[in-house]
Structure 1
Amino acid sequence: MGTQSWALHGRFKARRAADSKAMVVAARSGFAARGLIYVLVGVIALQIAFAGDGGGQQADRGGALGELADKPFGSVLLWVVGIALAGMGLWRLSEAVFGGTGPDGSKLSKRAANAGRFVFYAFLSYSVLSYAAGARGSGSGSSDKQSDDVTAMVLKWPAGQWLVGVAGLVVVGAGLWIAFRAVQRKFREDLRVGEMSKRTRQVTDFLGVTGGSARGLVFAVAGVFAVVAAVQHRPGKAKGMDDTLRAFRDLPAGPWLLALIALGLAAFGLFSWCNARWRKI
C-alpha cells in the first residue's frame, strides 16, 4: 500500500472514530454535564436573589462544583462531570477537524468556532478534574477574582486599555448574538426536531428561547463591565458571572429581575439536557 493509500486509510479510520457510537455518547454526556452546571448556577443565583448571599456560594462554575462536592458521593460526581466535559471537548475537536453536521458544518468559520469550543471545554474539563483530584483552587476559583486578575494584567500591557475594551465589546456582541439566535430559534437547526412530539418541541423551544436569552444577557452585561473597566482603567470594574448576576440584584426590582435571570440560566441547563437527547451528532 502506497503512502497516499496509507494516508487515505488513516483519514478514513479517523473519520469513522469521529462518527462512532463512543463519540456520540461522549458528546451527549458533555451536554448533560453542562446542563447540570447551569442548573446549579441558576439555583444559587435564585438563592442570592432572595437570601442575599446564596449561602456563601458563588453563582458561577466554581460555586456549582462546590455544590456538587458537598453532596453524597460528591467526589464521584465531580469525576463524572469532568470526564463528560472532556468528551464534549473531543467531539468539538472532531467537528473542527472533520466538519460538523448540516450543510454548513464544513465551513471554515464553523470549524474555527468548534476549535475554540474544544479549547474551552478542554480547559473546563481539566479544571473540574483537578478540583476532583484535590486541587480545590483549580475548578472552584471565583470567576470575579479571575476577571479582576486578568483585567489588571492586561491593563498593564502597552495598549492594554484598548485590548480590554475590544475584548469587552466582543463579549457584548457574543452575548447579543447568543440571545438573538435563541429568540430566532436557530437552535432548531441542530436538533432532531422531526423526531420530537409536538409537546416536546414546545417545551424545548421554550427552554431554548428562555435559557439562551438569559445566557446571552449575562454575557452582554459582563462585556459592558469590561468596557467600563477599560475606559476607567480600573480592573475592579470587570466582573465575572457571580458579580454580574449580583449587579442585577442591585437594580430597582432587582431581586425579581435576578430571579428571572436565574430561572433562565436553569432553563438553559434543562435545554442542554434536551440537547443531550435530541442533538444531531
Structure 2
Amino acid sequence: MNASVDPAGTVRHVAEHPWFEGAARLGFVANGILHATLGVLAVVVAAGRKAEADQGGAMGALANQPFGMVLLWICAIGALLLGLWSMAQAFLPEKKLKERLKSAATSISFLAVGFTFGRFAAGNPSDSGKTASSFSGELMQTGLGRALLIAIGLGMLVMAGYYIYKGAAKKFLEDLRGSGNKEVSRAVKFSGMLGYPAKGAVLGAVGLLFIVATVQRDPEEASGIDGALKAIQDQPFGPVALIAIGAGLVCYAVFLMFRARYDRME
C-alpha cells in the first residue's frame, strides 16, 4: 500500500532546504550587478555620452567585459534560483495571503530577469526599449489597452512611492538579519537609505512615461528605463539629477550585496 504524498510538505522541504536557500541568495548578487551597471550607465548618459541605459544595455555592457558571458550565465542561474525559491514560498500554506502574493510577485520579477540574463548569455539579446514601445503600441489600439497602460503607469508610481518610503523610513531593515559588526550595519543603512529612493525615482519616471505616452498616443514615449533616464537628462538640472540617480543605483546594488548575506529569506 503506497503512502500518501503530501504536496505541501514536499514544497516546504524543498523551500527550506539549506542548499536551495543558500543558492537562491545568488539572485540578490545578480540583481546587484545589474543595478550597479545601470547606475554607471546613468552617469555615462549624464556626461552626454551615448549609451543604452536600461536592462538590455546593462547586460550588453557586462557581456563585453572579460569573462562577461560567464558572468551572465552565473547571474542568470542566480536570478532563476531566487525566482524558483520565491515561487516555492508562495505555495507554502502556512504563510499569510499577503506574504504569498509578495513571494509570487518576487518570483515573476526574478524569473524574468533570469531569463533575460540567459538570453544575453546565449547570444540572443533583446532591446528592452523597443520591446516596451512595441508593447505599448499594441495596447494603444483599443480603449481597454489604453486603460491598462495607464493602470500600469499608476502602479509603477505607487511602487516608486513605496520604494522611496521604504528607504526614508528604513523599512528595508525588516527584511534583514542584524549584523554584529557596527560598521557593516551602518553601511547597510546608508546604502539602503540612498538606494531605495533612487530605485523609486527610476520606477516613477518609467510610470510617468507610460501615462504620458498613452495620453499622447505616442508609443515611442514609452521606452522603458532608457527613455525615462534620458527624459530626466533633458530637464533643468537633469544631468545633476541623473548623476545622483546613478550614484543611488550603485548604492542600491551595494545594499543588494548585503542582502545576499543578511536577508531573512522568509
Answer whether contact 2:60 2:120 (CA < 8 A) is retained. no
Kindly report which structure 2 residues correspond to 1:240-279, keeping only aligned pairs within 5 A, or say none: 240-279=224-263
Q: State whether residues 79 and 129 of structure 1, in contact with CA within 8 Å, keep that contact through their aligned partners in structure 2.
A: yes
For residue 71 of structure 1, the aligned residue among 65, 73, 81 is: 65
Match of 2:201 in 1: 217
List alignment gaps of at least 5 residues for structure 1.
100-104
Q: Which residue of 2 aligns with 1:102?
A: none
> Displacement of 1:159 after TM fit?
2.5
> Once the two structures are superposed, what CA deviation does each residue of 1:96-120 show, in whole Å capped at 9, x if it has no partner?
1127xxxxx8221221121122122
SS at match of 1:136: coil
SS at match of 2:209: helix
User: CA-atom RMSD, angstroms?
Assistant: 1.7
Q: With the length of structure 2 as denominator, give the TM-score of the two structures.
A: 0.93
Q: Which amino acid aligns with 2:138?
A: M
Which residue of structure 2 lines up, in the alignment, with residue 16 of structure 1?
A: 13
Q: In structure 2, how many angstroms separate the alpha carbons of the residues matched to 1:126 and 1:231?
A: 32
Question: How far did residue 75 of structure 1 move?
Answer: 1.5
1:91-240 → structure 2 map (5 Å cutoff): 91-98=85-92, 106-137=95-126, 141=127, 143-193=128-178, 195-240=179-224
| Amino acid aligned to 2:90 | A
Give me the whole-angstrom Cα distance separating, in 1, the residues matched to 2:193 and 2:168: 5
One-letter identity of the residue aligned with 2:121: A
- Residue in 1 that maps onto 2:5: 7
The CA distance in 2 between the partners of 1:50 and 1:207, in whole Å, is 24
- Report the AA paired with residue 44 of structure 2: Q
Residue identity in the other structure for 1:216: G
In structure 1, C-alpha distance between the alignment counterparts of 2:120 and 2:180, rounded to whole Å: 37
Distance 1:150 1:215 in 2: 23
- Note if contact 1:26-1:91 (Cα within 8 Å) is conserved in structure 2: no
Given the superposition, is the C-alpha separation of residues 257 and 158 from structure 1 closer, same or farther in structure 2, using an over 3 Å criterion? closer
Matching residue within 28, 33, 37 for 1:31: 28
How far did residue 2 of structure 1 move? 6.7
User: Deviations along 1:109-143, whole A, 9 cap, x unmatched?
Assistant: 22112112212222221221122112133xxx2x3
Summarize deviations over 1:138-183 as a string: whole Å, max 9, x none: xxx2x32122111111111242222211221111111111111121
**Cα distance in 1 for residues equivalent to 2:119 and 2:44:** 27
Q: Give the residue type in structure 2 aligned to 1:60.
A: D
- Letter of the 2:165 partner, please give it: F
The answer to whether structure 1 residue 84 and structure 2 residue 68 are counterparts is no
The one-character-per-residue Cα deviations of 1:234-256 (angstroms, maximum 9, x if unpaired) are 21222310111111111222211
Q: How many residues get paired?
A: 265
User: Structure 2 counterpart of 1:75, which letter?
Assistant: M
In structure 2, list runs of 5 or more residues that go unmatched: none
Partner of 1:50: 47
2-side partners of 1:158 and 1:258: how far apart? 34
Equivalent-residue separation in structure 1 for 2:14 and 2:20 (angstroms): 7
- Opposite residue 55 of structure 2, the aligned amino acid is R
C-alpha distance in structure 1 between counterparts of 2:8 and 2:67, whole Å: 41
Q: 1-side partners of 2:54 and 2:234: how far apart? A: 18
Offset from partner CA, 1:45-65 (integer Å, 9 cap, x none): 111111432xxx311111111
Task: Normalising by structure 1, report the TM-score.
Answer: 0.89
**Any conservation in 2 of the 1:183–1:209 contact (CA below 8 Å)?**
yes
Deviations 1:253-281 (A, max 9, x none): 22111100000011111110010111112
